[in-house]
Copies of this chain bind each other. A is one copy, B any other.
Amino acid sequence: MKKIINDPSAVVDQALYGMALAHPDLLRVERDPAVIVRADAPIAGKVAIISGGGSGHEPLHGGFVGAGMLDAACPGAVFTSPTPDQIVAAVEQVNGGAGVLLVVKNYTGDVLNFATAAELAGADGVDVRTVVIDDDVAVKDSLYTAGRRGVAGTVLLEKIVGAAAERGDDLDWCAAVAAKVVANVRSLGLALNGCTVPHVGQPSFALAEDEVELGIGIHGEPGRQRLPMEPADALVGRLVDGVADDLSLSSGDQVLLFTNGMGGTPLVELYLAHGIAERLVADRGVQVERRLVGSYVTSLEMQGMSLTVLKLDDELTELWDAPVRTAALRWGV
């Protein structure tokens, strides 16, 4: 294992130290328990949006803390759920009196710990709701989850519900917007190789030089199918088919198309894949109205990609376009 780190057990804490120094205008970092907080939180009268999950998926979630997106993010150890006390601390830091919405990726540990935190915060009189995202069409149940996993669609959810909270929507409406995103977003990914968790020191899995894993999760969980390596046209075709079929995409639909890198894939490959995906989606008569291309939900240095499609309506498009000011997504301000 070769990584730019010191003690493997201190990676997340030392990265948070650097992140706080890098973005003093956007966020502050509480280190015990670890919470990344929007610089100007709490904001009185605004619904607070909180997410979190295992570290190693950066920029998710800390890179999305800021105006128009998350009020706080709770980074767990690498590929490990944040603890309830982290989440409760986040609620205390950002609660502006209008309620709190917890955005949770569907992994057993995350769901459990966010539920415990919601109960604790609720007992303190905070109005807490939870939305669970499960956009991965690859597998129904896995080592980590009951049901589908939450993957790259999380970025779109956090952006859109963050914009709803920012414009002043109340907790009920934010929860309804979040539910609409979850109902209309699907993802599917593939990996060319595994990644190494620092405190483990060995790759999570190995693929031969001519193999690719379809339907990979963001922790190196087993996918749907191990395939011989194929040209990009064929690989991206599999992702488009999987997502489009599950979402019942049909002619006339308007969508946001998100081509995501898993961390170690060069941008030149992501743009190449995005071009293929747009063409294939358009071939179905579907209109690509908005796009996002880049490595936003990663698995450390894993090489691979995922494709996410969100069906848009006017409200979702308006919320996507709204200003956002975070380390990883920024426009309009």
Binding site for B on A (CB under 8 A): 2-7, 11-12, 14-19, 21-23, 55-56, 58-59, 63, 78, 192-193, 209-210, 212, 229, 231-233, 235-236, 259, 263-276, 278, 288, 291, 293, 298, 300-301, 303, 305, 330-333
Chain B min CB distance to A198 (Å): 9
Evaluate contact between B21 and A268: CB separation under 8 angstroms: no
Which A-B residue pairs are the 7 nearest by beta carbons? Answer: A18-B275, A58-B267, A18-B271, A18-B274, A15-B271, A17-B275, A4-B269
Question: Provided the pairs A4-B192, A235-B4, A330-B330 are in contact, do residues A301 and B18 lie with their beta carbons within 8 angstroms?
Answer: no
Evaluate contact between B305 and A267: CB separation under 8 angstroms: no
- Complex Cα distance, B2 from A273, in Å, reads 14
- Complex Cα distance, B272 from A324, in Å, reads 25
- Complex Cα distance, B300 from A148, in Å, reads 32
Evaluate contact between A269 and B192: CB separation under 8 angstroms: no
Please pick, from B16, B229, B278, B330, the residue contacting A2 in the complex, using a CB distance under 8 A: B229
Evaluate contact between B11 and A272: CB separation under 8 angstroms: yes
Evaluate contact between B18 and A272: CB separation under 8 angstroms: yes
Evaluate contact between A59 and B267: CB separation under 8 angstroms: yes
Chain B min CB distance to A203 (Å): 12
- Complex Cα distance, B214 from A217, in Å, reads 34
Question: Provided the pairs A18-B275, A291-B22 are in contact, do residues A5 and B269 lie with their beta carbons within 8 angstroms?
Answer: yes
Evaluate contact between B15 and A268: CB separation under 8 angstroms: yes
Please pick, from B12, B233, B259, B267, the residue contacting A6 in the complex, using a CB distance under 8 A: B233
Please pick, from B55, B264, B275, the residue contacting A301 in the complex, using a CB distance under 8 A: B264
Q: Given known contacts A3-B192, A18-B293, A330-B331, what 15 new A-B pairs fall within 8 Å (CB)?
A: A2-B229, A2-B303, A4-B270, A5-B232, A5-B269, A11-B269, A14-B275, A16-B271, A18-B275, A21-B274, A22-B271, A55-B268, A263-B264, A263-B267, A264-B301
